[in-house]
Amino acid sequence: MRTKDELFRAAQREAAARRQRAVTEGESARRAAYAAHPALARADDAQMRAGLALAKAAALGGDTEAARAALARAEEDLAAALQDAGYDKDAFAPRYSCPRCRDTGMYHGNPCTCVAQIARSLRRDEINAASPLGLCQFDTFDVGRYSDAVEPELGISPRAYMEKLLNFCRQYAQKFSSKSTNLLFMGHTGLGKTHLALAIADAVLEGGHDVLYTSAAALAARLGREHFDFDSGDEWLNACQEADLLILDDLGTEYITPLTISVLYELINTRMLTERPTVYTTNITDQGVFVARYTEKVASRMLGGCKMFKFFGADQRLHPGKR
């Protein structure tokens, strides 16, 4: 996973590559047309020579009026040659992906919106590659797969409860900001925790925020390697600390060491201090087990700073026919 700065630089490189492709394709089309229509090539050459003659006259103090008139005639001849060959005047102009900045990545001295769009697309690709489901959407979360029998602990059915939770998550993603609360989804395997977390990620990413996804196991393994690799610069930890929204999936599956606990505390604490929300998911449903696994110091930071939701029902992955 790349940091925001790395992602932005990658997006700028992609914009530059798009510009180069557009210029190359336009030039290739021009050469092919001139090879097929010699008159068109001659008219273009005459127009270029007329332009050079005007520049030379201006530089040397010559008759610029005559040179300017000659250029105007050459441009008219070129336009006529293009029309005769069946092309419009912009036939060989580069077809930029972003007409606003012409794929330079800059517009009026500021990064163009297309760079942010490219960055979001690159981040989306990263999340799709890292998550078990790929980015999910709220519309594909089927509450009809949950039981409509009343759950004693809830006082309502899991279906009604999950419908309320789905609506809450929609609103959370729609109104997402640095002031949004942290979320903790708790429940047994296959109840939709990751799906809803990724649906939030998809909507928040679409809203223009930077989102990063990682499983707890992948994070712990990667950070363990980076800790002993002094050339790594802790890129993953930096990326996880600075993302606008972090999805930390499947807490409880990682290999716990003192280093894991230390880094996890640093990550959670940094994100809380810098007001960067996190969505956690875990199969651990007993808070006592949670505290015993992560220590009271880490657990209190996590549990105390989150709005918690417990998931109910049967493993949805065991009932694929009920989609």
Q: pLDDT tens, 183-215?
A: 999 998 889 999 999 999 999 999 999 999 999
Q: Could you tell me which of 128, 129, 119 has the C-alpha nearest to residue 5?
A: 119
As beta bridge partners, residue 186 has 282, 310
Rounded to whole angstroms, the Cα distance separating 11 from 105 reads: 9
Q: Which amino acid is located at 201 in the chain?
A: A
Chain mean pLDDT for the chain? 89
Amino acid 319: pLDDT: 54
For 293-300, what is the mean pLDDT? 91
For 3-17, what is the mean pLDDT? 92
Q: pLDDT tens, 301-323?
A: 888 889 999 998 766 555 554 43
Q: pLDDT tens, 19-29?
A: 999 999 999 99
Q: Centre a 10 Å sphere on the Cβ of residue 42 and count the other Cβ atoms it contains.
A: 14
Amino acid 280: pLDDT: 96
Quick one: pLDDT band at residue 228, thresholds 50, 70, 90? Answer: low
Amino acid 321: pLDDT: 45
Rounded to whole angstroms, the Cα distance separating 76 from 99 reads: 26
Rounded to whole angstroms, the Cα distance separating 70 from 46 reads: 10
Amino acid 301: pLDDT: 87
For 252-278, what is the mean pLDDT? 90
Q: pLDDT tens, 27-55?
A: 999 999 999 999 999 998 999 999 999 99
Amino acid 49: pLDDT: 94
Quick one: pLDDT band at residue 230, thresholds 50, 70, 90? Answer: very low
For 255-264, what is the mean pLDDT? 87
**In this model, does residue 152 exceed pLDDT 90?**
no
